[in-house]
């Protein structure tokens, strides 16, 4: 028996095109397919031992995530995951998150805010104990509750679509020393703003939260690349594999 974890591709993704999507994404992020390289369906077909169609689908979805570019009759190529790309992603994230938090602030009832406090408590516990997986999950849950309350499924799916990418980056580069404490503090500030129903403040904090996350991720990435210079630049605009 296979169970889908409530709509997201969070756990074990059953259909081939979803599994292929995961593999391609992780291989792009780990540098197997360098920026600019072309992703030919025939190659990938041999590599993953599946036919071309699921690969096409996976590539389309990855285009939705911003990781690849697909042109009609011309195939797919890897979008460069450089500082600019990460900044762009987080800038988008920031404004949409702000939008959703603003609306959530208007629409959430007290019991939902109470639930949020509970998740935050569990998050602080897991983060304090240094459990990365659990805290990533709880962090996701924290924001998810807000997104659902904002009652804008279109915006929510945009954000959650990018979450896969952000998650992968986080698992690759980790968090800075003090970032966890900052996250906790920012979440607390957000909770306070929600408690007071202060839309302006809540929106501002959400934006700031994304700015800080962006800055931290860029720092972490800078460090990782500085320490291990060959890691993501093995080939410049090279062949597929």
Interface residues with DNA (CB under 7 A) are 2, 4, 14-17, 38, 40-42, 49-54, 56-57, 70, 72-76
The number of beta carbons lying within 10 Å of the beta carbon of residue 162 is 19
Among 11, 12, 30, 53, binds a copy of itself (CB under 8 A): 53
CA 153 to chain centre: 17
Q: Given 3-state DSSP classes, what are the helix, strand and coil percentages for the chain, each rounded to the nearest 5?
A: 70, 5, 25
Q: Choose which of 39, 89, 146, 194 interacts with a copy of itself (CB under 8 A).
A: 89
Provide, rounded to whole angstroms, the least separation between the CB of residue 135 and a copy of itself: 27
Please, which residue, 68 or 180, has the CB nearer to a copy of itself? 68
Angle (deg, nearest 10), helices 153-173 and 132-150: 160
d(CA 33, CA 23): 11
Q: Are 6 and 208 in contact (CB under 8 A)?
A: no
Q: What residue 93 binds from DNA, a copy of itself, none (CB within 5 to 8 A, per partner kind)?
A: none
Would you say 14 or 178 has its CB closer to DNA?
A: 14
Distance CA 223, CA 241 (A): 26
Q: Contact letters (x/-) for a copy of itself, 99-118, by CB under 8 A?
A: x---x---------------
Phi, psi of 73 (to 5 degrees): 60, 15
Residues in the site for a copy of itself, rule: CB under 8 A?
Answer: 4, 7, 13-15, 18, 53, 56-57, 60-61, 64, 66, 71-73, 84-85, 88-89, 91-92, 94-96, 98-99, 103, 151-155, 157-158
């Amino acid at each position: 028996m296979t169970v889908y974890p409530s709509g997201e591709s969070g756990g074990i993704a059953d259909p081939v095109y979803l599994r292929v999507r995961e593999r391609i994404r992780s291989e792009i992020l780990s540098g197997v397919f360098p920026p600019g390289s072309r992703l030919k369906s025939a190659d990938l077909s041999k590599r993953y031992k599946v036919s071309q169609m699921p690969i096409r689908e996976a590539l389309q979805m990855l285009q939705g995530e911003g990781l690849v570019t697909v042109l009609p009759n011309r195939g797919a190529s890897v979008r460069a995951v450089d500082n600019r790309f990460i900044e762009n992603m987080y800038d988008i994230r920031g404004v949409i998150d702000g939008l959703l938090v603003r609306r959530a602030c208007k629409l959430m009832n007290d019991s939902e805010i109470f639930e949020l406090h509970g998740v935050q408590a569990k998050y602080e516990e897991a983060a304090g104990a240094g459990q990365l997986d659990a805290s990533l999950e709880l962090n996701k849950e924290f924001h998810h509750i807000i997104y659902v309350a904002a009652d804008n499924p279109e915006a929510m799916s945009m954000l959650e679509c990018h979450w896969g990418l952000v998650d992968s980056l986080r698992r690759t580069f980790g968090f800075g020393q003090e970032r966890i404490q900052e996250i906790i503090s920012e979440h607390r500030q957000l909770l306070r703003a929600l408690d007071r129903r202060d839309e302006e403040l809540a929106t501002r904090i959400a934006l700031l939260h994304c700015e800080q996350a962006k800055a931290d991720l860029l720092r972490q990435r800078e460090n990782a690349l500085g320490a291990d210079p060959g890691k993501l630049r093995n080939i410049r605009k090279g062949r597929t594999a």
